[in-house]
Structure 1
Amino acid sequence: MKEDHGPAGFGSCTRRRGRPPSLCEAERRALILDAASRILASEGLQGTTMAAIAREAGMSKRTLYELFEDRDALFEACVRRTRLQLVRPLTDAERALPLAERLRILLRPGGCLTEQSKAILRAVIAEAPAHPELARGFLREGPYGARRSLREELDRAVAAGEVEIEDTDATARILCNMSFQSPVETLVDPDAVPPAPEAVEACLARIITIFLHGVARRAKG
């Protein structure tokens, strides 16, 4: 599957001069994902059909199927794009930083859940029994995707001799559970106030310190 990068999901598009402007593939994908997110938030999983998404995006169903194999693939792409906005991959320059800094970047959310994202999450939770595959797709491309990114970085750190970790997958799970705020409070309480950024940063610094002095038996960074 293709990754959707950036807030709008647009990649680089090359247009030919002298021709009427048309949407490139990256722009079409972004518009479709935007439309799917709106439908998911307002209609839930049951109302999110390929026909409804096509109407919302102002495109044909054929165009949707040219870019996404089916509704499940489209839904997973929506979740993947949201996850990449919150937990982005490291750049080449960032990979040269000490491990503590790399973990801080990976574990520091790049934003907070929007009202649309909360509505989608509520729909997934409410309709998971009726749509188990879509619910599993949400987990695979959402929280499990963030965990994969962290595990891959831990694997690189082990290979480079920065740390000694017997089970990087279990360690990544522990770190994610410690670092990422549970969405339950914000989903249940509409008046819940997210913690201040400085409080989040201070808590994350403590978590990384505990990790480097505890789970990782030897660290250079």
Structure 2
Amino acid sequence: MSPEARRERVFHALEGIYSRDGLDGITMVAIAAEAKMSKRTLYGLFSDRDQLVHEYMQWVRADFVRPLSDREKEYPLRTRLVRLLAPSEDERGGLPLALLRQVIVKPPQPVDCVYGRIQQHLETNRELVQAELDRAVERGEVKIENTREAALLLETMVRPSILEPLVGIESFPSAAELRRRFDFGLAVFLQGIGAVEEAPH
């Protein structure tokens, strides 16, 4: 089995443990047992639980923003933004939210390191969106004076508020509701910036 396949097995094990035992059940011993591998193999992939959780969050980030291939970068703006930002059909459950809530409610030590990692994820996402808006301006697809501000606005329009699930309200939208919001938000954004609307792919 390749190292990448092993890592995915560990991430799925992490989600399984959380759904059954909550955050308190997430230990390296439990993860190794759930992933059906030795602790030595697990520690060969991740130096400790913090690194494992950090890399899990990077893996989950692909559900929210997916970098485009060189071929995809040639598509029209609407198609590029859909490929980059459309919500995933995968149901991740509550583990990513539980981890974010843990950082906010009971920050582990050192706090700066954890917040820095979350900020790094957010900034990477915004840079990818801004890069596509910059590409659209360069190609004459749209006229945007400040692509950074436009990227932040787009992110707000196509994503649900994270505040409610973080403070404990469990009514997070379904995959279908997320997709409806995304499609509507993207259509309003593209109309607002004067982009030529192309047929959805």
Offset of residue 220 of structure 1: 7.1
C-alpha distance after superposition, 1:36-83 (max 9, x if no partner): 334456443x76443443333232333233223443332222112212
Q: Is the 8 A contact 1:154 1:168 kept in 2?
A: yes
C-alpha distance after superposition, 1:110-166 (max 9, x if no partner): 23662344433333332325452234323423x333223212323333444544555
Instruction: State the SS of the aligned residue for 2:63.
Output: helix
Residue 28 of structure 2 corresponds to 50
Q: If the length of structure 1 is used for normalisation, what is the TM-score?
A: 0.67
Amino acid at match of 1:137: R
Offset of residue 90 of structure 1: 2.7
Say whether residues 1:134 and 2:114 are aligned partners.
yes
Amino acid at match of 1:207: F
Go from structure 1 to structure 2 and tell me whether the alpha carbon gap of 1:129 and 1:173 turns closer, same or farther (over 3 Å shift): farther
State the 4+ residue runs in structure 1 displaced beyond 6 angstroms: none
Residue 103 of structure 1 corresponds to 81
Amino acid at match of 2:39: K
Matching residue within 56, 68, 71 for 1:90: 68
Residue 41 of structure 2 corresponds to 63
Q: Is the 8 A contact 2:157 2:185 kept in 1?
A: no
Say whether residues 1:144 and 2:140 are aligned partners.
no
Say whether residues 1:207 and 2:186 are aligned partners.
no
Matching residue within 121, 134, 153 for 1:155: 134
Go from structure 1 to structure 2 and tell me whether the alpha carbon gap of 1:199 and 1:154 turns closer, same or farther (over 3 Å shift): closer
Go from structure 1 to structure 2 and tell me whether the alpha carbon gap of 1:180 and 1:157 turns closer, same or farther (over 3 Å shift): same
Matching residue within 103, 114, 119 for 1:124: 103
Residue 55 of structure 2 corresponds to 77
Residue 9 of structure 1 corresponds to none
Q: Is the 8 A contact 1:151 1:172 kept in 2?
A: yes
1 CA distance for matches of 2:145 and 2:50?
Answer: 35
Q: Is the 8 A contact 1:39 1:47 kept in 2?
A: yes
Go from structure 1 to structure 2 and tell me whether the alpha carbon gap of 1:196 and 1:27 turns closer, same or farther (over 3 Å shift): closer
Instruction: State the SS of the aligned residue for 2:87.
Output: coil
2 CA distance for matches of 1:124 and 1:192?
Answer: 19
Offset of residue 31 of structure 1: 1.2
Q: Is the 8 A contact 2:63 2:88 kept in 1?
A: yes
Go from structure 1 to structure 2 and tell me whether the alpha carbon gap of 1:118 and 1:84 turns closer, same or farther (over 3 Å shift): same
RMSD, aligned α-carbons: 3.2
Structure 2 unaligned runs (5+)?
none
Q: Is the 8 A contact 1:104 1:205 kept in 2?
A: no
Offset of residue 182 of structure 1: 1.0
Go from structure 1 to structure 2 and tell me whether the alpha carbon gap of 1:129 and 1:24 turns closer, same or farther (over 3 Å shift): closer
Q: Is the 8 A contact 2:134 2:147 kept in 1?
A: yes
Residue 34 of structure 1 corresponds to 12
2 CA distance for matches of 1:40 and 1:168?
Answer: 39
Instruction: State the SS of the aligned residue for 1:59.
Output: coil
2 CA distance for matches of 1:197 and 1:129?
Answer: 33
2 CA distance for matches of 1:77 and 1:127?
Answer: 20
2 CA distance for matches of 1:69 and 1:160?
Answer: 45
